[in-house]
Structure 1
Amino acid sequence: MRNGLGTKINSILEKYFPERRVFLKSDTDTRFIRLRPGTQLLAFAGSALLVAWAIVATAIILMDSIGAGNFREQAKRDQKNYQARLHELSSQRDSRAEEALAAQERFNAALAQISVMQSELLNSETHRRELETGIEVIQATLRGTMKDREAARTKLAELEEQVQSGGSGTALASAGGGAPMGFVAEALAATAAERDQIERDAQDALLAADQMQQQIAVMKDQNDQIFRQLEEAMTVSVAPLDKMFRAAGMPTEQIINQIRRGYSGQGGPLTPLSFSTRGEEASADTLRANRILSEMDRLNLYRIAAEKAPFANPVKTAFRFTSQFGPRRDPKTGGRRMHKGVDFAAGLGTPLYATADGVVVHAGWSSGYGRLVKIQHEFGIETRYAHLSKLRVKVGQRVSRGQRIGDMGASGRVTGVHLHYEVRVGGRAVNPMIYIKAANDVF
């Protein structure tokens, strides 16, 4: 059966590939090579495969060449768009930095103005109190002068009555103690002059009192204007700081109370004003001044709290954000993972700064973080600065906002030079941009 099948296949092949012979002739001999149908089929199939492979390879090369050209063009377009976006972000960052600097200057100017106004207010109140005391003294002197004038008038009336009683020797003796009439006339003239002088002094005292009252009225108007300016300055200064803390999700009253309890150095609570030592109730101006002093104390506490919370940027030179807070594609494994901070990319060795006052609790190598600095701040806040190339602080060292703590690098698990910056509250990672953006809106 196999021979019959083979014969049949061979007969079919002979229709398309008849047996051929290739003769090889030499000078002495002639030989030939028999090409059977099966051999011819194998040669044909091999040639067809070779041609097909060449066609497919050529097509792939052409497609790759065309695709590579398209990819290059697309990459160039993406690069141009990316550079344009970076330029736009850089311009926005520079404008924000200029706005923050201008806001800081306005804030400092407002504080200076508040200090000057406070001094003027205290001097004005002191001067007003002195004027009121002077008026009381003048009024007391005026009352004594009026009494003396009434006594002089009474005495003058008695002498005139004695002179007009008849001029007898007995009357004159009783009136002038035996003195001659010339002496009595001199006494009357002196008494009249004294009376006139007392009247002039009284008029002068009344005029002085009126002038002082006018000065007091002018000073009250000036004080009221100073009060209004101080109150407006307090509103402009305190409200943005309160908004900044609330935008960061920080309980303002709790923070202020904590700072008030723990802060005992310069800049503590201001002593309320008191212009009277006689136990009198405080005047409306005194209460108003004390309210302003209370707001100044609150402003001072906000300033202290702002220094202790990370309301700042750890990188002050040119940079770009390469990764935000939240879930992302892992740059190493490609899987979805939680990114617990933000990444700032810049040049190797870029200075890095503490974002708030605090104490260094870690400064060294830490697994995937590489060279890591941890700073513990007030209110249960901790900041982390990872992948550093150089550390510039030690454990236990107290640092201030804006103090250089290290240099940007690529240590640990990274794909390039950058800073990984974290903010943790109570051990839980939160978005650092909450604090950075809240500070940008104020400073």
Structure 2
Amino acid sequence: MRREQRRSLKNRLVDLKNWLFPERQIHLRTAGRVSFIRITQRAQISFVVIFLLAGGWMTYASVAYMRNNAVVAGKDILISNSRQAYRVLLGQVSEYQKKFTSLTTDMEDSHDLMMGLVEKNFLLRKSLTTVARKLDVTRTQREQFASARESLKEKLSAIEIKVRDMLKQNFSLTDNLSTAEADLQKALAERNKSIYEGTRMHRRIKGLETRLTDIEKVEEDSIQRLTDSTTTYIETLEKVVRVAGLNIKHLLKDYQPLANGQGGPFIAATLEKNLPGKQLKDQLSNLDIHLGRWEALQTVMRKIPLSAPLNNFSITSSFGKRRDPINKRWAAHYGLDLGGPFKSSVYSPAPGVVSYTGWNGKYGKLIEINHGAGLKTRYGHLHKILVKKGQKIKFRQRIGLLGSTGRSTGAHLHYEVVFRGKAKNPMKFIKAGQNVFQK
């Protein structure tokens, strides 16, 4: 339906175009010849369009020209008004410049006046400061004068008091002269009495010195006897240690007395010779040295294993070189083999601390006891161990049972004594102990 309407409208437009712009021809006759110019429908339409455009442009240009003239006239009026306003503004600006010039002149005058006032103010302050300082100095001087006046008053009063005291002393001197004679007589009497008392005390001191000499002699004899007995006991203990095969110096190395060194610069002093008690003091020092060594030996002797570890025993193998009981070859034997009844008790020959218990290869069941002072004892081939590691052991305490464990041919006790890492002959210790216990 719409297509048909479009076609009918298009046909109408075509009919209108054909009616308005039919094809035209212009005939021209020139010298008997006839020619014509053909004006097509398209040319006619183009001519009409150009004519309409030219007419429209001329109409627009005319209207625009007329409107432009009106605008230019309005702008001319505005320019004339602006020029008049500019002239008015120039007049106002000139008036303002005159006023500004006058104000600047007034401000300069005011500034000069202010500077003068500031300078006067500074001078006034300076003068006020000077006056204040002078017032302070005057006040200080016034206070000094007042204090000086007070001190003078005090001095005058003190002088008056002294004068009064001197007057009193003058009166009392006369009384003192009379009493001085009595005092002198009394002093002479006391001096005579002191001389008598001094003579009596001198005699008494002589008697005391005699008694002190006798007492010192008795004390010296007692100290000498004590020193001799201590020396004898020390020699006995040292003999026991030597019999046991120990070096006394090495044994007492950890038990030396505390160092008593002295020092300082030498300053000579005058001392009286043969002071009372000097010999007694020397003997006491000597006794103290001997007692110190005796105490050290006593301490060490408690740690030396001097008793036998068995009550009843027989020596089955000595210390030193021997033929091995199993392979019959020569070998070193660092202990002492003690034979005894099977399961007989083994005792500690000295107090100490158990440092090892348990199976130890060819030793079998072994006990090691640390007695201190570098001494250790070992007990091998035991049947049973009755102590533990770290246990404190007393003298002659039961520590195990005799057996035949380890590399052994029969029931016996392998007994070792070690001093500072070196094996010692246990039989020497047992013999030394026999001498001690007999005494």
TM-score normalised to structure 2 length: 0.47
TM-score normalised to structure 1 length: 0.47
